[in-house]
Chain A
């Protein structure tokens, strides 16, 4: 089945500007295409046009023509479209509708009135393809993110639709599970010959398996439509605010001019002599010495055990320190104990054994509130944190409560150092503090806005602003970059680095390898409740045993190093990070 857009434009009912402008795109039957673009570029809108959510669930105006298998979806119902197009949504949790795996896969068949016995047969077949038959009776609560993703795929396979649409299939998955899903999609493509569309901004991960074509959307328009080798050799991804694969970035940084003929989309082709020479000329071994930490210890976790039910330990014997101004990343797969650890540090949970010190004071027995005055916790989804309608009220909420509660206790050290202010004392009025905080967070222009009209990235900043009002010493952030494209993400992380530079300690809970590599100075890796590594990210990502145990994935930089014959992988990774940092400072 083919998909054809002809001069197609679309405008949402409540928006002034069209979200898609003059799209001309043909996707042939059996093709595998990656559709990339920043958040807000229109890539999801394009997808909704194909799967029928537009116009059936989301209203708007369109012009031009869209044909799916020769018929206009506008003349059909969403159900007729769903026969041709199967969609796997990005939120694995919400799209798991059934109470068990089998039931969820059967959902579409139930709605298609397939007889119960026949249905059980088809469900088993679909689950076989994704290798999940052993889980048929399990509930969604017993599955990992990657397993839920497989179940969703089985649910679409059972529909026998010819087009499969994947909406950010890698979101919320740990690197190893993400890799599995990409392989699974590739197998499906090879075995069934279905037309496959993948909407993603994590280009490096999708390109681990080959795609026929990449389509890049920017501000509602298609700015590139062609084979991967072409776009990787060009500079289009960067201009569209998307991240190139790290190994491609490395080759480009070495000043090697790439052409489509290099077929760089396959990392194995980097063994080419010219590329090799260029990289070797560029790379200067850094001879990493373990950075001597002279800064003051802020947080010290000593031999901590934790268990929810007193029988199974969720964390055992965890020890680590966090220093002033340090950005520490905590890595590990789902269930490794990352969120339990952040619960312990923020005082929500109490350790069963061991001690936690904050500035040399033992905090085991402190109340959540008291710990919260020192340790701020920023959730993954800002909407789960924001309690007021207006930005102003949200940010002031904690400030007012705190100023009224303990007048004179606030020191706002980080603010002082950011603004070189000498005396912010209790007489400084709330208004002034509030304005400083939103200025720091880059929200000054929005101070009178309702929060609902802010973008997702801005909401995230608002959530941090409301935490900063508590004058914390440490901030824990859960997946701070989830759902954000490269551009928003980099500017957000720069802001976090500024906060750290002012003396805050930052803990990032994440499975984003790029984030850990480029923005944290140290990583600890948890696996099955134990700490299995505590080192610089560059060293950690060069160790295959740790990568495997923690469901991480080797970086393409490491791969590049081995292809070229650089033995000290971690040093090469570190060199790349340092170079990238220098360039971003110059920029």
Chain B
């Protein structure tokens, strides 16, 4: 967490300077591309490209590493469940069956293994761009940028408000939980019975909702009193200027996306399986 209590990492890189809404567009088209294909080559290409871009973003390595570990673990679990539920999906996709080994009721086929690898890499290849978007974008600049591309400012400003008050609500949750724990109603390790833990966790909802409602009331009043919603438009204290480099990025983005789109249209195979 940065000093703003948000995920934004204050630094200066190509991505920090990039127009936030353009970054969002890059991420969206990146995701569309990833989901268009079930092709290991595309996944690897995007992952390598993503990692190169990520290395330019000056996000601290430790954050990148930790998040990659989380996502990889998540993917392993995901793959395991897919295998348990549909062990022969690879065969359905390719029409081939190459049994590698038999595990209890299940037989692991080369086709399914390859499918799971493709799928996992697909998710992982989304990671670098998502991280760039989240960690290099100042929430206020993001809001003003969204507003500039036509999103109503009341919606765009929601991002600011969320980032502003999430840490407050986190703190509130912590203090409420601690006060209840001190009352003997902990939902942590202190409580041995699992059902009681769940019940105790559930008990936190009322005070948490109470405090959230109180806060919303106060914040709304504070915003009203300072003229939020007065005019149809507003100006922004934190804002970015659209630069020549942004147009270059946009051009490259369109070309690349066009390329991928044309590949998708010409290549009708659903799943790339070279073996």
Contacts and interface: CB of A to CB of B under 8 A. Distances in A.
B101 to A, nearest CB: 47
Interface in B190-246: 190-191, 203-204, 206-207, 210-211, 214-215, 218-231, 233-239
Given A99-B160, A375-B182, A387-B207, A119 B227 contact: no
A114 interface: yes
A155 interface: yes
A583 interface: no
Interface string B103-142: 0000000000000000000000000000000000001100
Contacts of B175: 379, 384
A192 interface: no
- Name the interface size band of chain B: 35 or more
B184 A106 contact: no
B236 A116 contact: yes
A510 interface: no
Interface string A54-67: 00110000000000
B181 interface: yes
B219 A94 contact: yes
B228 A99 contact: no
A82 B226 contact: yes
A385 B237 contact: no
Given A99-B160, A343-B178, A369-B191, A383 B214 contact: yes
B129 to A, nearest CB: 24
B237 A119 contact: yes
A515 interface: no
A57 B220 contact: yes
A343 B182 CA distance: 10
A379 B179 contact: yes
Contacts of A86: 225
- Name the interface size band of chain A: 35 or more
Given A111-B230, A383-B207, A372 B183 contact: yes
Interface in B137-158: 139-140
B176 to A, nearest CB: 5
A565 to B, nearest CB: 48
Interface string A119-157: 110010000000000000011111000000000000100
Contact of A110 (B183, B210, B237): B237
Interface in A46-85: 51-53, 56-57, 78-79, 82
B190 A368 contact: yes
Contacts of A116: 235-237, 239
B3 to A, nearest CB: 5
Contact of B182 (A99, A140, A141, A372): A372
A371 interface: yes
Given A123-B237, A466-B183, A79 B210 contact: no
B247 interface: no
Given A123-B237, A384-B179, A388-B206, 8 more contacts: A57-B221, A78-B225, A89-B225, A120-B237, A367-B190, A368-B178, A369-B181, A371-B182
Task: Return the 7 tightest CB-CB contacts between A and B, nearest first.
Answer: A106-B237, A94-B218, A111-B227, A95-B222, A372-B182, A79-B230, A387-B203
